[in-house]
Structure 1
């Protein structure tokens, strides 16, 4: 078994002048990606292979200058083996229901 894949989203509330700091942090961390961004907040997509890495990202983000709060708003764990399986299409799903 390859392990687990953790998919989560984080909301980062920050000062308007700190947006570039948050952007810079995400570009240096491969497991983070900006999904949405506004003046004083952004939503980050976080994909890691363990739960501890999520907590480490939250801790590091909260220590950035101008960051007011970091909230975990979604967390899903999936077996890496399961993610390697082909997805069921809607047509196939309807055939199995018939």
Structure 2
């Protein structure tokens, strides 16, 4: 049985005076990266084996002081084994 790998992104909006603290706390979450931050909004990318693990991190974000919203932008599920396969470029130039 192969494992799944979840790749998600979220827009997090926080009170302007709390954005630095929210960003710091978010980046301490496992497998969470900052894609972009502008003003009081940031886009976070989260990865993990289980959807539940990601949702636990989202719940943690929602509970942070100053967070206004956490909105899902993208969710992709891939077979983890396929992510480890080497890709071959089958295009040929003649």
With normalisation by structure 1, the TM-score equals 0.85
User: Could you report, residue by residue, the CA deviation over 1:14-53 in whole angstroms, capped at 9, with x for unpaired residues?
Assistant: 1111111222212322311000001110000001110001
For 2:49 and 2:79, the matched residues in 1 are separated by: 10
2:14 corresponds to 1:6: no
For 2:72 and 2:83, the matched residues in 1 are separated by: 22
Q: How does 1:15-94 map to 2 (within 5 A)?
A: 15-89=15-89, 92=90, 94=91
With normalisation by structure 2, the TM-score equals 0.88
Q: What is the aligned residue count? A: 92
Structure that is richer in helix per residue: 1
Q: Where does the alignment leave 5 or more consecutive residues of structure 1 unmatched?
A: none
Q: Where does the alignment leave 5 or more consecutive residues of structure 2 unmatched?
A: none
Greater Cα offset, 72-81 or 22-31: 22-31
Q: Which portions of structure 1, spanning 4 or more consecutive aligned residues, are displaced by more than 3 angstroms? A: none
